[in-house]
Structure 1
Amino acid sequence: MLVPTPPRGKTQQHGFTLLEALVAMALLGILVGLAAPAMSGLRARQQLQGQGEAFLNSLVLARSEALRRQQGVSVCAQGLEAQCDSLGRWHQGWLVFADTNHNGKRDWGEVLIEARPGVPVGMQVGVSNTVKTYFSYNAEGRSASASGAFMAGTWRFCRPDSSAGWQVVVNALGRPRIEAYTVQLCA
């Protein structure tokens, strides 16, 4: 197949002119500007879900370790030097540890199974009063307080600027689940 050649003296131009390139860049800038807020909201929602799932995984780990070790395992709000926080500030992170004396506090010699860092800045963790500072599993994998009574509770992961959050709920048997919820007040 023969390709026609341009007439002598005229060259065929390929590409864009400077004006066309500037218009395309301006349109691209406008589109990116419109998409950025939506992307940051998506990122914040994914971050909330990720923290909720990380906490769920820690509870599942604690329950399976209690069954495997045949002894109590607890999850507590993290304080200084891998110890439990007595004020229940879960946003600082949490610890999973073998709770050999079933007191819900990490004492000297108790094995640290997992330590999770605090939640990102701007995110809050609210808890029900029944699990203010710790949550424990006994050797049978059931939730149990220091007195031996069953434990159940809810941890809510939210942001003050969002109406959607994630919560981890543990029933009276100690089975955890995660679910989305509509935030009324993030605290």
Structure 2
Amino acid sequence: MQLRNSSERYGVVAISMHWLVAAVVIGLFVLGYWMVDLSYYHDWYNQGPDIHRSVGILLFGLMIARLLWRLLDYDPGPLSNHTRLEVASAQAAHALLYLLLFVAMISGYLISTADGSAISVFGWFDVPSLTGQVKGLEDTAGAVHYWSTWAIVLLAALHAGAAFKHHLIDRDRTLRRMFGK
């Protein structure tokens, strides 16, 4: 399999980043959904959020790399059987997914640093607060984080549904291209 994209298919870098981001986003959503109901005395009360924050910071770096790779690499483009509406919808959905992911990650960062504290990423390094203490920031950022993550999940489900529609109904290569075929 080729490293870079071609006019016909995605390369291993784009495919790997796509599926890694998808898996991490699903994992973060499940962990976040589960950990908000933990009681103070639960074993994971501190560990769950620490993992969530650390993985979120690493995802931010991966998304920057993915965005740069997408800007620098060749885009295979749509298949010839895709309608203009399908192409425009796919482009809008991808742009919105990128935007929502960055909104979720930045709002998550703001929740965690609203009190002026840094985020420790697995004890490897710290990401400092850029805002210092800001009264009410945690609540506002929390609402943005909550709604943006739900929007990501719904849009990702629509994205997956469209891929399955192309695979099962249109019987084209849209989904197979994301597996390097």
* Structure number with higher helix proportion: 2
Higher relative contact order (CA 8 A, sep 6+): 2
**TM-score over 0.5 (shorter chain):** no
* Structure number with higher strand proportion: 1
